[in-house]
Amino acid sequence: MMRRESAAGWLLLAALGWQLTGFVPGPTTPSPNPSPSPRRAVATAEVSAAPAMATTTPWRGVLRRLLLARRQGAREAAFKELAEIYDEVSSEMFAEVEKYALMLEEKPPLQLLRLRPFLGYRSACASLYRTVRDHILPQQAESPVVVLKQSREGEQRLRYVLQSDAMDADARSAAGDGAGPEVSAASKARALYVALRQLVANDVWSVERSANSMDNDWDARTPKLETPKYQVLSRDALSGVEVREYAPYAVVQTQQGPEVANNRSFFMLADYIFGKKNVRSEKMAMTTPVQMDRGSGAMSFIMPSKYWSSLEDAPLPAANAGVSLEERPRETLAVSIFGGYALGPTVAKKTEELIDFLQKSDRWEMVTNSTRLMQRLELWLVKGALKGEASETLYNDPFTVPWKRRNEVSIPVRAKA
């Protein structure tokens, strides 16, 4: 009996040591007729054989630091370094984290220990992959991913955007990677990048736990930034639809026209808010959300509240800013809230549901046949045309993880006589 327990103990210690040292074996021969995993199929239709990695490549060391560093400053530096080479190494990186996740799942003794942080790099890779596979890739499934290369102030930037994103005109006008049952390399690269960004502020296991415990605490999904004030007039318990009365506020918006209905609008507004292109060089605090009228192509940022009732005191835009200041009047909106990505099909469905609710309501009626999509991301309120003058509201940045997103579809309403 003692020998068996000793042997079992040595095997466990060997497994732990194998995890801690980061030793990576060469390719293994897959077992014949492996039983397919439904969750594995979400991420990829086929698992490639892992290449032998006798030497550590530059990206692997940086990834290890991002996954395992205890100090946030160290993780932030590692992410910045990784972002500079991400386009070149994303496929290798995805294959590595996928390999370790599947390796742990196929080895029952290690699978029992897979969530414990002290297991090191392999366990961290596996946790990262599960977050990508179970919580990000499924949200991207309805949209091809577009890879855009842009230049701003002499710096080349790479963007992985969802082509069906209801707010991104750049993505909608570009050719996507195509839709199909097998997940594209661009989609995998985007999903992994979204997850990696979360590791600057949190360790990989905390990110996975957050994704697994996702709830509908919409206030928690809204950034703690200044936002227009409103009063909830009614709330339907079954559908969750709210009717809100918004107090007047003010915005800075881009000039109308389809030529600015894209990512450039954001930077035009940011240049004004952060003092680069207003006549007083005044730097203002960021607010939420950002607005974008998809019919006219105008995007707006909410002005600081000190200017809501005295917009004439705000600094004027510079002559070449391409933006203007505007007051927004009091209005009443019926609002439906939902999470995840605000993809075109999802927005259309939520809009139809809200219209149907109002048509059956004995208390509220639509002011006009127009709707607004509102997506609560960290920074934005976007307005866009789905029917008539449909709009959307965004309160998070485009790389906010799906389980932290807050989206809203809204329609101007009034009380029935």
CB atoms within 10 A of CB 25: 10
Residue 29: what pLDDT?
35
Give the pLDDT of residue 379: 37
> In angstroms, rounded to a whole number, what is the distance separating the alpha carbons of residues 291 and 272?
15
Q: Which DSSP string do the residues of 249-268 spell out, in sequence order?
A: EEEEEEPSSGGGSSHHHHHH
The 10s digit of each residue's pLDDT in 215-232 is 667 776 777 789 899 999
Strand partners for 148: 159
If we measure between CA atoms, which residue out of 264, 278, 290 comes closest to residue 384?
290
pLDDT for residue 149: 66
In the numeric block, the tokens 């009380």 are attached to 415
| Whole-number Å distance between alpha carbons of 383 and 303 | 16
CA–CA dist 63, 95 (Å, integer): 13
CB 323 within 8 A of CB 252: yes
CA distance 287 to 17: 49
Instruction: Please state whether 115 falls in left (phi above 0), alpha (psi between -120 and 50) or beta.
Output: alpha
d(CA 66, CA 64): 5
Give the H/E segment covering residue 160.
strand 155-162
Q: What is the pLDDT of residue 59?
A: 93
- Give the mean pLDDT per block of 10 residues along the chain (417 residues): 42 37 33 41 35 56 93 93 90 94 76 53 92 92 76 60 66 50 81 93 91 74 84 93 96 70 73 95 87 69 94 96 93 89 83 91 84 50 32 56 83 90
Residue 124 near residue 79 (C-beta atoms within 8 A): no
